[in-house]
Homo-oligomer: A and B are copies of this chain.
Amino acid sequence: MAWKPDPILVTVDIVIFTIRERELSVLLVRRGSPPMKGLWAIPGGFVKKSESLEDAARRELHEETGVSNVYLEQLYSFGDPGRDPRGRVVTVAYFALVAEDKAPLTPGSDAADARWFRARELPALAFDHGEILDYALERLRNKLEYTTVGFQLLSEKFTLGELQGVYEAILARPLDKRNFRRKVELLGILRPTKEVRRAGRRPARLYRFAASRFEKLKDKGILFPF
């Protein structure tokens, strides 16, 4: 190199989704220090020298929620000069999907002030985090239709109603129950258990996601256009 490259700071930000009460929700933290103190933001932090980008994202995710072993996917990198008043900061954004039963009711540890917001009712966000969140939502909606990410938001066993609820929450539109169930059955990726969930009304059968069957389907272009 004949010249010196400009040093740039690199962060990861993680849009953490879960389903709460049949609503798609996002974890936000309130900034406790400047810049943009008091504003809500997507959790994140600086990448350390010796960790990969994904490791950094998993570390932050764990620090904020206590969860590990969840679905995590790189989203996009945002690096406009001026997006952070502290200097030139490029952020690699990720999104994570946390099952309802794993999502801590009161998340946060180092960030004292953190809570879940319904994706429909988001506050103003710091930096360009509004843009990042919009992008994450769009990606999630798209991926729902050609992958099995939806299952990542459910616990290990779930009812068909709960599964449909996930799709409806994310797509923000009602789905036809019969068509939904027929499609799921056609795909053959669910294995019924012998248990049922009793939730007041008629008990609903519990199913388990059979990931193994899915790999073959992907090649054939069989998707999830509910």
Select from chain B the residue with minimum beta-carbon distance to A91. B77
A212 in the interface, Cβ–Cβ < 8 Å? no
Interface stretch of the complex, out of A50-58, A95-103, A115-123 = A50-58
Chief secondary structure at chain A's binding surface: loop
A76 touching B79 in the complex, CB below 8 Å, given contacts A7-B9, A49-B6, A49-B88: no
Is the C-beta of A80 less than 8 angstroms from some C-beta in chain B?
yes
Contact A51 B81 (CB under 8 A): yes
Contacts of A80 in B (CB 8 A): 52-53
Task: Encode contact with B along A39-78: 1 for CB under 8 Å, 0 otherwise.
Answer: 0000000111111110000000000000000000010111
State which of B46, B51, B53 has its C-beta within 8 Å of the C-beta of A77: B53
Taken residue by residue from 1 to 44, chain A's Cβ proximity to chain B (1 for < 8 Å, 0 otherwise) reads as: 10001111111000000000000000000000000000000000
Question: Is the Cβ of A6 less than 8 Å from the Cβ of B47?
Answer: yes
Q: Closest approach, in angstroms, between the C-beta of A54 and any C-beta of chain B? A: 9
Known: A53-B90, A90-B92, A221-B225. A79 touches B8 (CB 8 A): no
Q: How far is the CA of A141 from the CA of B151 in the complex (A)?
A: 26
Q: Nearest residue in B to A45 (C-beta to C-beta)? A: B5
Question: Which listed residue (B9, B47, B79) contacts A79, Cβ 8 A?
Answer: B47
Tally of chain A residues near chain B (CB < 8 A): 29
Return chain B residues, CB-CB under 8 Å to A225.
221
In the complex the two chains form, is B10's CB within 8 Å of A90's CB? yes
A5 contacts B46, C-beta separation under 8 Å? yes
Residues of chain A from 104 to 156 with CB closer than 8 A to chain B in the complex: none
Binding site for B on A (CB under 8 A): 1, 5-11, 46-53, 74, 76-81, 86, 88, 90, 92, 221, 225
**A-B pairs with beta carbons under 8 Å apart, 29 shown:** A1-B86, A5-B9, A5-B11, A5-B46, A6-B46, A6-B47, A6-B48, A6-B49, A7-B8, A8-B9, A8-B47, A8-B49, A10-B10, A10-B79, A47-B90, A49-B88, A51-B81, A52-B80, A52-B81, A53-B77, A53-B79, A53-B90, A74-B76, A74-B77, A77-B77, A79-B92, A90-B90, A90-B92, A221-B225
